Structure 1
Amino acid sequence: MQQTDKPNLILIMTDQQRADTIRAHGYSHMHTPNLDRLAERAISFTRSFCSGVTCVASRSALFTGMYAHNTGVYGFNDWSHQRSWVHDLADAGYHCVNIGKMHVCPRDERLGFHERVIVENPTSRFAELGKSDDEWGRHLSLNKQNRPQDRHLTDPDWHAKHQGVPWHLDEHLHSDVFIGNSALAWIQRHRPKQPVFLQIGFTGPHEPYDPLPRHYELYKNRNVPTAVWKDGELDGKPPQHLAHQGLHYRIKHESTIDMAGASDDEMTEMRRHYYAKVTTIDEKIGEIMNALEENGYLQHAIVIFTSDHGDMLGDHRLPYKWLMYDSVVNVPLIVWDSSSQDGTRVDDLVSLMDIGPTLLEAAGVPVPPYMEGKSLLGYTQGRPPEPERYVFCEDNYLTMVRSSRYKLVHYTGQEENGELYDLQHDPHELNNLFHRSEFVAVKQELKEALLRWILRSTYRTTGYKTKSMRGPRWWPIQPPYRLH
């Protein structure tokens, strides 16, 4: 291994993984021995929140360091023309590699990476978009197989399975196994001459929930948490919630899922498949970590594990993501620093926006003034920063501000609607307090926090927007003005 004063940087991401899916974090229904081993030597952030509740909105914010109101990427928009902190690492001498899902739009753009092994959602339809297949699709073709699509047309029991379908082909053909094996091959053949930034993106546990059959067997008769909901719950929430429930049943697509009509047993069985898919990924993560260690990459390194957003899994009798419940916005975040290997759990509010500044600080690269987050490296070095009072999330017309106790979700253009939850007394977000008179002061406080954040955030990105790349001018005051 080439010796350098700069650490190797490893970012492992899953897609659509909830925070309550790692056994070492207190969730005994999970079988995650490799993530457990990582967590036992690292900092685990129990209150880590994504910056968007769909794949592209979350990832574009994470990798640019800017929220949607500054980039315009509120949904499935093109964002590869934006500058990312991967560019900053590349300019600083890092060899930057992506293996697996990134969800760059357009798909094949580099975004600062020197190498990419592109794998997107297993049910993606590239031919219909006039594109060539991704690397996993070509792997299937070489093995005389096709992408598993349109199973709602070929499987008469598809809707009754609620996306829970164990993998049906040889193990090496599974998308996440392919991604893991591709990462292993790269680690074993690469001969580094410079520090490495390696991003590995798994496609799961995003639906369909298709674990390897032997991993499903681990959960087949296991008691797992049931979906949390109550009768009439959605009547007291904005109409988009009920519409979201119905939309995914009415659309004629492979992702169709009937949460309103699913029985408790059916939702629990769906969850078993989802949890088992996490275990499939956990196995590959263990192999990757072993290979990194055996090949010298971890002698001086930072390893971060996280996911872009979560999955409601039937909570509130709702599917997938799109809304801002904690089932979706609270994601796992583990930070391992080779210089400090004591396992610690931290309950401070943190954001996926903090990942870019963390990696840049570790690399000795100045954090651009337009980036929103703050480095988490101090937590691994015994100098934790002052905790944030709020975290934020943006996607489509929804904007969330969350404190340690309260959450407000603002509906742009529909100010008569909204969500307000007291998470201390209602951690499952079953009771919407938005229209309750006794919470007017709380709602006003959160709205003011949202306004201050939007104004500060918009101002600090002026250098990026005007292409000067310099920070905005702050009027000198005593003591020095602090952004955080």
Structure 2
Amino acid sequence: MSQPNILLIMVDQFRFDWMSCAGTDFVDTPYIDRIAARGIRFPRAACNSPVCGPSRCSLAAGVYPHRVGNLENFVNYPSERATYYQALRRAGYRVAIVGKSDLHKGDHFYGMDGDLPFMYHLGFTDPHETEGKMNAAFRRNRLMSFDLDPGDDSHIAGPYQRYLRDRGLLTAFTEDYRRRFADWKFWNAWPSPLPAEHFHDSYIGRKSCEFLERVPAESPWHLFVSFVGPHDPWDAPAEYVDAFANKTFPASIGDDLDKKPEWIRKKSKKHSAGMSADDLNNVKRHYGAAIKLIDDWVGQILDNLERKGLSDNTVVIFCADHGEMMGDHGLFQKSTMYEGALRIPLIIADPREARAGTSDSLAELMDLHPTILELAGIEYSQSRLDARSLVPQLKRGTEPHKAFQFSELNNTRMIFDGRYKFIENHNDINELYDLQEDSHELVNIIEEHPGLAQRLMGEMRLLRK
């Protein structure tokens, strides 16, 4: 059989449990569910770093973030390190991206058409890279700078800003962001001044459909659709937010933070100070609205595949770079090793395989690197990777995948063995949780089980060799 097309849909800061196929009843995601109905969902999947840049670089390289040399945002991908995009291109694939890459985030310039030469070097043949969500209103090469002159191309950071400028919408968008950042609260939420059709993720969805319309059938393709939502700021279009107007969402995980490290206590206080229950519910309304908009575009992309007769030879993957705390333990965003930030949605649907359902494998985001290569029939050296292919789980589901999941940042790292999670916090107390008995991570049992903590720390050091 010919090499399949591979469609990778990534969302940014998307909780693993905010999909109806994952059992939630407070946000409906029929089109993401459509992918799950045809494939394997990995409910225990984790990211290898709960921050955008390191997570995406780890996927590109197929190794842990510390081997890439990236444990924080704004670090560019090393130009000398190979990517799976390059391997696909060498094998004859057309390799496209629409949306955020974060592979040269430190530059904060993406080209007026999203096609800087560095993206070709990384392996893309058809790049259309956009700004990320948080920095979409910032001036070129200057983070936290809103002094954009719509008439000066040297101020424009990327194609989405140019798109808004050409429609007379850039100033309103920039001023709205200026207002949000001037009095920044992690729980501030109000609708975007933009109509839904001009929202950033609508732009990405539309450009992705345009690629599918024009891509020739002469070679297989890999399309990386990289939505920037539902990442904060919480600014979904009003017509989507209004659909949740009377919705009361389930409570977040409350926590007295007993035996939590000091840096988490400080972070929680900073994130939740002054927040009411209504404020938190309002954030969730906007988060759910952003997810619904993305799900609608997922549906349009899938419909496009079917209309062009591509569905039977296109592997569809849905995933996120990391999760979102959404008020759990008083926290928002990511940058912690707790479940809300660590777990990600991961679904792989291969139309050539009849098997569908779920897998409890300890899958990691970077595992998509060898998975995609194997699906494409491309040989690779396992000895050079930390990642392991998930293809055996797609085909049979009986073979063991990994004994541990590992995730890391510059100040903390985590190992999980399927039941116990050990978190090492630099210059602070460490944590140990029994997720079988304490899925909300409320009781740090490290003092009661020092031997278990030592064993997991030892395994973590082996993974970092």
Q: What is the TM-score when the length of structure 2 is the normalising length? A: 0.89
Corresponding residue for residue 128 of structure 2? 117
What secondary structure, in the 3-state scheme, does the structure 1 residue paired with 2:55 have?
helix
Corresponding residue for residue 291 of structure 1? 304
1:272 maps onto 2:270 in alignment: no
Pick one of 258, 273, 279 that aligns with 1:260: 273
Corresponding residue for residue 420 of structure 2? 406
Return the offset for 1:151: 3.9
Task: Report the CA distance shift for 1:160/1:359 in structure 2 as closer, same or farther (over 3 A).
Answer: closer
Return the offset for 1:301: 2.1
What amino acid does structure 1 have at the position aligned with 2:194?
L
* CA displacement 1:16-60 (0-9 Å, x = unmatched): 001011101111111111011111111000000001111001000
Q: 1:84-483 to 2 correspondence within 5 Å?
A: 84-105=83-104, 106=107, 107=110, 108=116, 109-110=118-119, 111-124=122-135, 125-129=138-142, 132-146=156-170, 148-149=173-174, 151=176, 154=179, 162-230=187-255, 232-233=256-257, 235-246=258-269, 249=270, 258-368=271-381, 369-412=383-426, 414=427, 417-434=429-446, 436=447, 438-455=448-465
Return the offset for 1:376: 1.1
Could you tell me whether the CA contact under 8 Å between 2:134 and 2:231 is conserved in 1? Answer: no
Could you tell me whether the CA contact under 8 Å between 1:34 and 1:286 is conserved in 2? Answer: yes
Consecutive unaligned residues in structure 1, runs of 5 or more: 250-257, 456-484
Distance 1:286 1:78 in 2: 33
How many residue pairs match? The answer is 436
Task: Report the CA distance shift for 1:314/1:161 in structure 2 as closer, same or farther (over 3 A).
Answer: closer
* CA displacement 1:93-152 (0-9 Å, x = unmatched): 101000011112145421210111111224422335376421111110100121634647
What secondary structure, in the 3-state scheme, does the structure 1 residue paired with 2:49 have?
coil
Distance 1:352 1:175 in 2: 24
Distance 1:149 1:440 in 2: 51
Distance 2:179 2:276 in 1: 23
- Matched-pair identity in %: 29
Q: Which moved more, 1:46-55 or 1:157-166?
A: 157-166
What secondary structure, in the 3-state scheme, does the structure 2 residue paired with 1:194 have?
coil
Q: 1:29-68 to 2 correspondence within 5 Å?
A: 29-68=26-65
Return the offset for 1:241: 1.0
What amino acid does structure 2 have at the position aligned with 1:43?
I
Return the offset for 1:188: 0.9
What amino acid does structure 2 have at the position aligned with 1:28?
D
* CA displacement 1:247-306 (0-9 Å, x = unmatched): xx5xxxxxxxx4132112211221121111111100000000110122233221211100
Q: What is the RMSD computed on CA atoms of the aligned residues? A: 2.1
Corresponding residue for residue 149 of structure 2? none
Return the offset for 1:382: 2.3
Task: Report the CA distance shift for 1:135/1:193 in structure 2 as closer, same or farther (over 3 A).
Answer: same
Could you tell me whether the CA contact under 8 Å between 2:388 and 2:401 is conserved in 1? Answer: no
Consecutive unaligned residues in structure 2, runs of 5 or more: 111-115, 143-153
Pick one of 72, 82, 85 that aligns with 2:69: 72
Could you tell me whether the CA contact under 8 Å between 1:227 and 1:268 is conserved in 2? Answer: no
* CA displacement 1:145-195 (0-9 Å, x = unmatched): 216346475479966792422232222210000000001111112223110
Distance 2:416 2:440 in 1: 14
Could you tell me whether the CA contact under 8 Å between 1:340 and 1:380 is conserved in 2? Answer: yes
What secondary structure, in the 3-state scheme, does the structure 2 residue paired with 1:288 have?
helix
Distance 1:75 1:454 in 2: 17
Task: Report the CA distance shift for 1:439/1:244 in structure 2 as closer, same or farther (over 3 A).
Answer: same
Q: What is the TM-score when the length of structure 1 is the normalising length? A: 0.85
